[in-house]
């Protein structure tokens, strides 16, 4: 039976997103529009028995629905691409993009975009999303713009409706790429919810130098609490769990093993299968490996049940490591892992000040002025969410348990 996704958002946006869900994922989508964000919780409660998962058109309704459902849920993020598109529109109209006020988008993300286009440090004005934020606060924020030469940019439909006759205002609409990313994440979440405890993950690795690649795979298997064997067809076979694989691959976005093999001068492809049994997982892994081989350069593919395949970043020399890619939205990370946005901002600054250097809980505790156990808990949450990677243990001259070293991907 095909899962049903309830798409919740403004009446002029939810239908288009629901159509994208059906076209991109093959899932059934039902449109559940609201006239105002405050209706979100009631909509979720009233339709809880008729849907299997939720997709919200922004972080505001997603936050409002928390606590109203235990079903898998995701939201469409307002990305850099969306903000840049609004600035291009303003520039074409002869408006000053420095004189803009933007709500919901995180300060670090906005600062990076502003720096890229050469805006001064105090522009644009911004009010990032907070869990306890009210729509009235967003309205007051935009109303406080200095004069009529300023333009408000909002991610919230009710803010736009309240101010459209009063001031110059643009309402951001998520890009197709942002919608596609949200659907992909939700699809993965739905698949992982199906008998998750019994799901087996099997990986098949084919390398141009299997002898040199073997120690890398064994080390990866140890980190995944898995086992390694040689497949009858010549590939190396790794057996682990879906949860462990998700963490190691940053929620199925990066293949750390291929990256390390590439750095060692070993070209490889990997296929991972996630199924209810080891046999099913191995069959899916074989399909994934065949598809990985069809890609140019070293590639990993993960195959799930219901014909869901996901190509991970390549491990070739030309591919980007996580730290070199576009950084994920901190507001999104804060929502997923339960670490305050302000804390994540400081952690990102700490990571940037130690490029390519692993951090320990002690370094984090000293930098953030928190207890060691608090820092350890933060790093563990980031690791579970796929935003921190264990890379070893700190060598200590004194006695006691060595501290775990992490690389942050913020």
pLDDT attached to residue 196: 62
Q: What is the mean pLDDT of residues 219-242?
A: 88
At 325 the pLDDT is 42
Q: Mean per-residue pLDDT for 138-167?
A: 94
Is the model more confident about 367 or about 246? 367
Average pLDDT over residues 9-20: 92
What is the pLDDT at residue 351? 86
Task: For the full predicted model, state whether its pTM sits above 0.85.
Answer: no
pLDDT of residue 399: 54
Q: Give the span between the Cα atoms of 367 and 43, in whole angstroms.
A: 43
**Can you say how many angstroms the Cα of residue 99 is from the centroid of all Cα atoms in its chain?**
30
Query: Could you give the CA distance from residue 267 to residue 296 in angstroms, rounded to a whole number?
Result: 11
What pLDDT does 347 receive? 92
- Top mean pLDDT of 202-216, 309-323, 334-348 is at 202-216
Which domain does 292 fall in, by range? 194-311
| pLDDT beyond 80 at 402 | no
Query: Is pLDDT of 248 > 60?
Result: yes
* pLDDT tens digits along 119-146: 887 889 989 888 778 899 999 999 999 9
The answer to whether residues 273 and 286 touch, using CB atoms and an 8 Å cutoff, is yes
Token digits for 317? 């020399």
CATH number of the domain that 25 lies in?
3.40.50.10330
Within this chain, do residues 68 and 106 fall inside the same structural domain, yes or no?
no
3-state SS class at 36: coil
Question: In terms of domains, do 202 and 284 share one?
Answer: yes
Helices (H), 194-248: 210-223, 242-248
Kindly state whether residue 8 falls inside one of the protein's structural domains.
yes
pLDDT classification of 172: cutoffs 50, 70, 90? very high
Does 246 or 5 have the greater pLDDT score? 5
The residues with which 268 forms a beta bridge, in sequence order, are 207
Rounded Cα distance, 410 and 408, in Å: 6
Do 198 and 307 reside in the same domain of the chain? yes
Once rounded to an integer, what is the mean pLDDT over residues 200-222?
92
pLDDT tens digits along 47-95: 988 888 999 999 899 988 877 887 888 899 877 788 999 999 999 999 9
Q: What pLDDT does 145 receive?
A: 94
CATH code for the domain of 297? 3.30.70.270
Instruction: Say what percent of the chain tops pLDDT 90.
Output: 37
Give the pLDDT mean for 260-274: 91
The reply to whether 11 and 96 lie within a common domain is no
Mean per-residue pLDDT over the chain, rounded: 84
pLDDT at 356: 62
Residue 396: what pLDDT? 55
Cα 37 from Cα 62, distance rounded (Å): 10
Say if residue 203 is in the same domain as residue 303: yes
Residue 153 within any structural domain of the chain: yes
CA–CA gap between residue 157 and residue 170 (Å, rounded): 10
pLDDT for residue 242 is more than 70: yes
**Which pLDDT score is estimated for 320?**
42
308 vs 25, 63, 104, 303, 305, CA distance in Å? 8, 28, 32, 6, 6
Highest mean pLDDT among 183-197, 206-220, 296-310, 343-357 belongs to: 206-220
User: Which range, of 116-125, 162-171, 350-359, averages the lowest pLDDT?
Assistant: 350-359
212 and 285 housed in the same domain: yes
Q: 137 and 157 in one domain?
A: yes
- For residue 346, what are its two tokens? 């400081």
Least confident of 152-156, 237-241, 318-322: 318-322
Q: How many domains does one find in the chain? A: 4
């Amino acid at each position: 039976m095909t899962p049903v996704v309830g798409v919740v958002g403004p009446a002029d946006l939810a239908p288009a997103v629901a159509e994208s869900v059906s076209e991109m994922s093959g899932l059934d989508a039902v449109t559940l529009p609201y006239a105002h964000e405050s209706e979100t919780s009631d909509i979720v409660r009233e339709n809880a028995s008729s849907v299997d998962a939720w997709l919200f058109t922004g972080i505001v309704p997603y936050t409002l629905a928390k606590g109203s459902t235990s079903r898998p849920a995701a939201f469409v993020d307002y990305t850099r691409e969306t903000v840049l598109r609004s600035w291009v529109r303003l520039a074409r109209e002869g408006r000053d993009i420095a004189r803009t006020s933007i709500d919901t988008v995180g300060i670090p993300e906005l600062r990076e975009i502003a720096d890229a286009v050469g805006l001064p440090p105090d522009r644009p004005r911004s009010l990032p999303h907070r869990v306890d934020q009210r729509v009235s606060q967003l309205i007051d924020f935009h109303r406080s713009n200095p004069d009529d030469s300023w333009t408000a940019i909002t991610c919230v439909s009710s803010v736009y409706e309240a101010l459209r006759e009063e001031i110059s205002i643009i309402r951001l609409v998520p890009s197709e790429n942002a919608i596609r990313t949200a659907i992909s994440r939700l699809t993965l979440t739905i698949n992982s919810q199906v008998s998750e405890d019994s799901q087996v993950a099997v990986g098949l690795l084919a390398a141009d130098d299997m002898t040199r690649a073997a120690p890398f795979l064994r080390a990866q298997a140890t980190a995944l609490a898995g086992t390694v064997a040689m497949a009858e067809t010549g590939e190396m076979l790794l057996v682990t769990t879906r949860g462990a694989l998700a963490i190691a691959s940053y929620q199925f976005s990066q293949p750390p093993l291929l990256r390390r093999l590439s750095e060692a001068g070993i070209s490889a492809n990997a296929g991972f299968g996630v199924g209810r049994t080891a046999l099913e997982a191995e069959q899916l892994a074989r399909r994934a490996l065949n598809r990985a081989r069809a890609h140019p350069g070293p590639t990993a593919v993960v195959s799930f049940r219901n014909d869901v395949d996901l190509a991970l970043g390549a491990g070739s020399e030309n591919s980007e490591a996580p730290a070199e890619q576009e950084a994920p939205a901190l507001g999104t990370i804060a929502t997923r892992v339960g670490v305050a946005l302000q804390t994540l901002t400081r952690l990102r600054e700490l990571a940037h000040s130690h490029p390519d250097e692993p951090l320990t809980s002690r370094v984090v505790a000293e930098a953030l002025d928190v207890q060691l156990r608090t820092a350890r808990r933060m790093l563990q949450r980031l690791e579970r969410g796929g935003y921190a990677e264990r890379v070893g243990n700190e060598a200590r001259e004194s006695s006691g348990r060595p501290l775990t070293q992490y690389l942050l991907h913020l």
